[in-house]
Structure 1
Amino acid sequence: MRYPASEKLEIIRLVEQSHLPVRRTLDKLGIPTTTFYRWYDRYQRLGTAGLRDRTSGPGRVWNRIPDAVRQDIVALALERPELSPRELAMTFTDTRRYFVSEASVYRLLKAHDLITSPAFVVIKAADAFKDQTTRPNQLWQTDFTYLKVIGWGWFYLSTILDDFSRYIIAWKLCTTMKADDVTDTLKLALAASGCDTARIVRGGPRNPDRMLSWSATV
């Protein structure tokens, strides 16, 4: 089956954000690992251009975002530079009532030199992490997953994951992504794990640019 470049990038993003190992995530998506790594290697070398199929003639993108909308997305990105492509896509969809995917926003910002480095890094199975956890509760990771319920609006799933066991210790469904929401989820994790305190660490061994980690002590 042939995938357009936009779907290949969506698949790459799903794998990068998945809490599961790469192979298990790809199995769920029905994508062979060799195919995925061929895409990813070309993406690292050539950017989104490397994900396009090589054709003998010019193609036409049937679902291209209108120029006026593209300009609005760029304007919002300049107005809110602290937003990631994921957050920007969510904000634009919610406030402008026009759906755009994270992949589309990422491509657009990349084309305007508004992204200087990849938001995520996929580590192949042959590589090893430098600082590996050796026991439960040594390091926790927290993140938000957002979802939109038609007729209700946006909701945000706050989770805390134990780095060693890959077990979700606590979770909370929120209507915002504020610091208080993370704090409330952390309190649930402390109660569930029996730990007394947790020390915040900005970044982590899995995803240093985006992740908040917690060093928990019993």
Structure 2
Amino acid sequence: MVHRNAPLTETGRLRLARCVVEDGWPVRRAAERFQVSHTTAARWASRYRQLGVTGMSDRSSRPHHQPRRTPATVEEHVLRLRREHRIGPLRLAVRCGIAASTAHRILVRHGLPPLAALDRATGEPVRRYERARPGELVHIDVKKLGRIPDGGGHRTLGRADGHRSRTNGAGWAYLHTALDDHSRIAYTEDLPDETAPTCAGFLVRATAYFASLGIRIERVLTDNAWAYSKNTWRNTCRDLDISPRWTRPWRPQTNGKVERFHRTLLDEWAYQKPYTSDHERRQAFTHWLHWYNYHRPHTGIGGHTPASRGTNLSEQHI
């Protein structure tokens, strides 16, 4: 990689050196022609004589002798603690008696990625994937959310009154979501349970919704919950000409896109402000989901909206 302040690229250095070495130009003439100093021209000509074309690249500026570099035994200790305990530079620095910046440089020097880029269960780098077209794979999952009693919950009334209000038995909302892997378009319903018939009925309606957007669902990916392992689910998939897929046991990361959508849903809708009733929160959800699909920039797809990646979407610019 050429230094950003270098007056010549590798191609320019090669042309200068060939003018001197092969064409017999005086060094000063070549320096004037390529707008560099006499010593610079002489250096590149000398390297070309010794190393040829490979000598036109920049050399490392790291000194050959580094008496203050962290000892190899300390570096090995840092790397071993990172592998065994998966901790960051600050905690590594405390355990090893070095500065946090030194621990960070050791990790970078050995090509170890940040903890955020690792799978928590295995410590391996996260492998990200994305299907090539809308409908090729749709992730489905259920998020259980406490309903809000009339008058509000603890966010509106405070902890004490909110707890007494919750004991009245407001119940639970089961948010069933279908999320397209390629476009990130989401379809969500608030349903009373997560039984097999309810999940199957949701799939039928989700399929119709995506069909209205010009997207045909080819595969669905779910976890191994009871409802998705019954014949009701399998038969519904067969009737809709959809191939069912399941995640590996104890590997929720496989269905991570819909899991991440549910976290966004909680942050930006369910817990975004105190609601005085469950009806008020449900009304707000319709507007929020439309905004998510058509107007909210999605960082996972380069800042585009999910609708921009769909096919034949009406109302895309509403």
Fold-level similarity (TM above 0.5): no
Comparing both structures, which one devotes a greater share of its residues to strand? 1
TM-score (norm 1): 0.36
Higher Rg: 2
